[in-house]
Amino acid sequence: MSTITSTRTPVPSSVQGGRPVYRVTARRVLRSEWAKLWSLRSTWITLGLGLLFLVAFGLIASWQFKSRITSGRHMDGDFASSTAVSLSLFGTNFAQLALGVLGVLVTAGEYSTGMIRSTLAAVPRRLPVLWSKSAVFGAVALVTGTVGAFIAFLFGSGIVSGTPAALSISDPGVVRSLLAAGLYLGLIGVLGTALGALLRSVAGGISVLVGSLMLVPGLISLLPSSWQDHVRPYLPSEAGASMFALHHEAHTLAPTAGLLVFLAWTGLAMAGASWRLMRTDA
């Protein structure tokens, strides 16, 4: 009598379940966030509004300048010293709100719907989710802002041609200012995503964003004059404006310094969002 012993070769778990095992990689997380961003109708609408604000208000400002020059109407000092660059980028103040609000929605929107639980279940390490959301939307906002800035300048410079504000694309500092405007709007998008992840509330994130960009500079004017010149240049909106200013004024930061200050504000918001994401439940 003989005994036959058979051995079974272990079957990989990927074959047993009938599905391949996927690893969570940075590339796949980025692709996931890219797909989620463009699957929302609000993305297309808000990006379109941001581009429209940037171009339309730039052209309106250029047309107003040309109209007042030709008609001989009075202009205040700031408007009279405008250049084709500053006129074309007049819509940046409005475009930043659209892009910043969409950045808040990118992160806080998932918390409001509860979808963030599924996202973090798929990416347990958590932080790559925040970084990927910020990188994807920051890049989209950067491209949108840069394209809008160049379109606004190309048409706006034609409107003010023959006036003291006239400039061409080849003049010193023009390309740098237009690229810096696009970079500023890209960083606004990153700042919005960070605030959305930090506060986990659409209303709260938008309120803080609008307050820091629009309301706080007005409140600074209530301070003594000797304090204003030391505080105002370091506000997010003022530091950002100095990034794409064609000419450096005495009471403003240089473009590089403005970039560093705005990066510091954005990094602070990202650090707070990262800390809360790691320390608290979704």
Predicted local distance difference test score (pLDDT) of residue 226: 77
Domain contains 97: yes
Domain contains 7: no
Predicted local distance difference test score (pLDDT) of residue 73: 74
Under 8 Å between Cβ of 207 and 97: no
Residue of 160, 180, 157 lying closest to 169 (CA atoms): 157
Domain contains 4: no
**Would you state the structure tokens that stand for residue 153, as one six-digit string?**
């300048």
Predicted local distance difference test score (pLDDT) of residue 26: 82
How many other CB atoms sit within 10 Å of the CB of residue 27?
Answer: 8
Distances (CA, A) of 70 to 25, 62, 64, 65, 217: 60, 12, 10, 9, 33
pLDDT mean by block of 10 residues, the chain; 282 residues: 47 50 79 91 93 96 89 72 92 95 94 88 88 96 97 94 90 95 97 96 95 89 81 92 88 92 97 93 72
Predicted local distance difference test score (pLDDT) of residue 5: 47
Residue of 255, 274, 101 lying closest to 188 (CA atoms): 101
Domain contains 222: yes
Residue of 25, 175, 40 lying closest to 110 (CA atoms): 40
Domain contains 5: no
Count of structural domains within the chain: 1
Residue of 222, 229, 32, 228 lying closest to 133 (CA atoms): 32
Which domain covers residue 103, as residue numbers? 24-279
Domain contains 18: no
Rounded CA-CA distance 164/147 in Å is 25
Domain contains 202: yes
Domain contains 15: no
Predicted local distance difference test score (pLDDT) of residue 186: 97
Task: Output the pTM of the full model.
Answer: 0.88
Predicted local distance difference test score (pLDDT) of residue 22: 60
